[in-house]
Structure 1
Amino acid sequence: MARPASLIAPNHAASHPLTDDPRYTAAEIPPNVLVHLTELAASRGIACDDWFAGLGLDRRQLSDPTLRISYRQASMVVRRALQAIGEPDLGLSVGRGETLGSFGLLGLAMMTARTFGEAMGVGIENHKVSGSLLDVTFEEVNERQVALVAWPRFSDAALLPFLCEELFASSLAIARQLLGASFNPARLELSYPQPAHRQAYADLFKCEVQFGMPLNRVLVDVQWLGQELPGHNPLTARQALALCTQQRPSGGSVHQEIVAAVERLLRGQLRQPPKLHDVARTLNLSERSLRRKLAESGRIFREIHDRVRAERALQLLQGGNLSVAEIGGEVGFSDPREFRRAFKRWTGMAPQEARRAAT
């Protein structure tokens, strides 16, 4: 079996003039699209473990609700999926199978909105929570129509058809779930050339479809915006929207994928924490390369390790079921006194103080 590529080294198939952009490797995207792709592959009997080779990920991690991936990682998996599955309308197949439940808290916030227009606004404002690989905006086209407009984050012509198909097909599936099967958009406009499977678009969207247009957008008649939704619940809507807001990328310091990969490894081995060289070997990097990549992200290994241990220790202290000594053991300390000293260095308080503060 071929040795996986380096975790961060660019693959020639994914080379890109904007790969120096920190957004390209920022680990802030929920892996929803990859979840749907792997589920579809499983239904086709297609193995997909190799899709994650060299990316610091594996398929099993997709079930972790806290997992966040970078555009680089997501786009590489999508490329490999397109090649492995070989279906030209793969994006349509993935998108039309999605439901409000696929979008978690965002789906709940949309379902409990007062009107379809409010649900549409919630979805657009929080589209990054759904794991979208395109940026989405809203525009008023004229007095009779509004549009959901999709913008690529990076100029990636090979992936744009899949990304647009998945986004607009899933948006259509959600709209029909909210409004009923009678909903159809007014028109779908796409910037890429007409594909061989154009008829699949017409069959699904049941509206005029135009290719080679200036924008990627779906137009909707304004009459739909005011339609009240049967699932409206003001309290649930506010609660779900508040949780969505908390999950949105903060816009602060970029959380690079190399940092996220190190954190995942450390979280999985807190009782017997690996050394820097162990982590580097697992990520198919030299120790020197790992140090350099962390430094480029403004981080050092010890600081990441301490923060991961501190977060887990605080969770266990707040749970209240384990003694301080047992919690120390859970995060890699055989000596309770060493754990107490370390915890105070991390948080500025003793473990018992943190436990009392949580009650």
Structure 2
Amino acid sequence: MTSVAASAGQATSDTARAPHGANPRYTAAETPPNILVHLTQLAIARGLPCDGWFTGSGLTREQLNDPTLRVSYRQARTVIRRALQATGEGGLGLATGRMETLGSFGLLGLAMMTSATFGDAMTVGITHHRVSGSLVDVSFEVAGPREVALALWPRFNDPPLLPFLCEELFGSALAIARQLIGEHFRPTRLEVTYAQPPHVQDYADYFQCELVFGARANRVMLDTQWLAHPLPTHNPLTAQQALALCMQQYDGGAQQEVVASVERLLRSHMRQQPRLPDVARMLNMSERSLRRRLAESGRIFREIHDRVRAERALELLHGGTLSVAEIGLEIGFNDPREFRRAFKRWTGMPPRSARQQAA
């Protein structure tokens, strides 16, 4: 089994080429190619040749029409990086995301559209986001008395691809929200961890809300008033049927689903450093059952916890805006010395060295 130290060390020393290249999750072909479909559709609409983007990836553009096709993060990353290089367009992720519709999400889009309220539709979309071909993980968080947040969590520490992934996810989420509620829908704030891009005006024109760059997390904030907004297309029977089919589509099965659930909870409660009993309770499972299901997936809770923290620490170190002590606090270490020792155990190097390598 790949160790956290090996995976995180690889990400730090070779981020530009293949982050976490030794991690089995990096090459597991389990993601629907929806993002690549929209990316190539955009290229074709603009008259851009894109067949070369797939060279050596193990994919061809024609294969994207196969509804059974699943791609790995490595394959998707290869195509997206080449698209970014070929077009030279900084806002390519935003252009891709904003062209997506409920129909783009297939059965998941149908389940969202037939939900009772916008809040229900958000919950459905977030719970089953992997069915839509997402290359990141997402969570739904309470951010304040009148604010909730759709938060994005990178699956790998991959700074060159992060702006594209954030733009695509948040851009498509806003496009879907406006389809469900209407063009008058506005988020209250968009926060991303990377620096302000040259095409910032595109963000302002599309999101029409406060923009925060160099933030501590990647998330879009919503006023809670939107959650109770009823959807005119609500159909309880169709919603139930579509959800059942969505769950059947997920190739990872129940065992991998519990791993994803554990990762999601660890990311959203990172400062609290939850232990296995805490996570089991949040999943409404016994500690024994959770330990057994993780073992069936070939995983150990401590290794998952260490990897999630290492990946988040690397992301913040590469962002360059927080001190080492502040990063330690973000992932649950009150003592900077404990964080430095843990980070060196995970990656084989101290935090400052990892930041210098990323510069």
TM-score clears 0.5: yes
| CA shift digits 1:133-172 (9 cap, x unpaired) | 1110110011100000001000110000001001000000
Matched, 1:111 2:113: yes
Who is 1:134 aligned against?
136
C-alpha separation between the residues in 2 aligned to 1:242 and 1:79? 35
1:62–1:155 distance in 2 versus 1, CA, 3 Å: same
For 1:128, give the aligned amino acid.
R
Matched, 1:219 2:221: yes
Who is 1:266 aligned against?
none
Who is 1:156 aligned against?
158
Q: What root-mean-square deviation, in Å, do the aligned CA atoms of Structure 1 and Structure 2 show?
A: 1.5
C-alpha separation between the residues in 2 aligned to 1:210 and 1:200? 14
1:70–1:49 distance in 2 versus 1, CA, 3 Å: same
Who is 2:62 aligned against?
60
1:46–1:17 distance in 2 versus 1, CA, 3 Å: closer
C-alpha separation between the residues in 2 aligned to 1:191 and 1:119? 27
For 1:125, give the aligned amino acid.
T
Matched, 1:91 2:70: no
C-alpha separation between the residues in 1 aligned to 2:47 and 2:129? 31
C-alpha separation between the residues in 2 aligned to 1:13 and 1:60? 29
1:207–1:239 distance in 2 versus 1, CA, 3 Å: same
C-alpha separation between the residues in 2 aligned to 1:188 and 1:253? 31
1:60–1:80 distance in 2 versus 1, CA, 3 Å: same
Aligned residue pairs, count: 243
Q: 1:203 aligns with which of 205, 220, 231?
A: 205
Note the C-alpha offset of 1:199: 1.2
Who is 1:22 aligned against?
24
Secondary structure of 1:76's counterpart equals helix
Who is 1:250 aligned against?
253
C-alpha separation between the residues in 2 aligned to 1:135 and 1:120? 14
C-alpha separation between the residues in 2 aligned to 1:39 and 1:14? 26
For 2:64, give the aligned amino acid.
L
Q: Which moved more, 1:22-31 or 1:43-52?
A: 43-52
Who is 2:79 aligned against?
77
Note the C-alpha offset of 1:83: 1.0
Please tell me whether the aligned partners of residues 190 and 217 of structure 1 are also in contact (alpha carbons under 8 angstroms). Answer: yes
TM-score by length of 1: 0.66
C-alpha separation between the residues in 2 aligned to 1:191 and 1:157? 10
1:1-359 alignment to 2 at 5 Å? 15-248=17-250, 249-250=252-253, 252=255
Gapped runs of 5+ residues in structure 1?
1-11, 255-359
C-alpha separation between the residues in 1 aligned to 2:194 and 2:126? 22
For 1:165, give the aligned amino acid.
E
Identity %: 65
Please tell me whether the aligned partners of residues 14 and 76 of structure 1 are also in contact (alpha carbons under 8 angstroms). Answer: no
Please tell me whether the aligned partners of residues 18 and 74 of structure 2 are also in contact (alpha carbons under 8 angstroms). Answer: no
Give the structure with the larger helix fraction.
2
Q: Which runs of 4+ in 1 moved over 2 A?
A: 12-17, 251-254
TM-score by length of 2: 0.66
For 1:66, give the aligned amino acid.
T
